[in-house]
Amino acid sequence: MDVMEDASWHGGGDVPAYEKQRMRDNVVANVLNIFLRRTEFFAGVTPGYMPGLEAKHRFSLAADAGMTLSIPLWRFSLDITPAAHYLITDNFEGQRWLYSISGGLSFLF
């Protein structure tokens, strides 16, 4: 049975439609608050030098953008970081966009 349809928890009767909508909005707002409060967005450029690679140019420049989501678990923090990288310099033929995902587990003290 749906919790929104079971009105026995507040003394009986039917829950008004506006109250059901308000409860749903609160759940959505709380879930978004949990995730967005622990999210960091970043953007920038990354210069680089690639020794020993068969590339057109040894120096490279990439534009980066991504986000980090930190999930606290007791005394630990689980971090997930997806990112997109656009190679501004044409070092590799036919490949301009790179995507990465990284993660980590840290101990908080």
Taking only the tens place, the pLDDT of each residue in 37-90 is: 788 899 999 998 877 766 667 788 999 999 998 888 889 988 999 999 998 887
Per-residue confidence (pLDDT) for residue 15, from 0 to 100: 67
**Which domain does 59 fall in, by range?**
39-109
Does pTM surpass 0.85? no
Residues 94 and 51 in one domain: yes
- How many other β-carbons are positioned within 10 Å of the β-carbon of residue 30? 9
Q: Which residues contact 67 (CB under 8 A, 6 or more apart)?
A: 39, 40, 41, 42, 81, 82, 83
- The answer on 108 and 68 residing in a single domain is yes
Q: Are residues 52 and 12 in the same domain?
A: no
How many domains, in total, are found in the chain?
Answer: 2
Q: Which two tokens stand for residue 7?
A: 């009105």
Provide φ and ψ at 32, rounded to 5°.
-65, -40
For residue range 2-46, list pLDDT tens digits in order.
Answer: 555 555 555 555 667 777 788 888 888 887 777 667 888 999 999
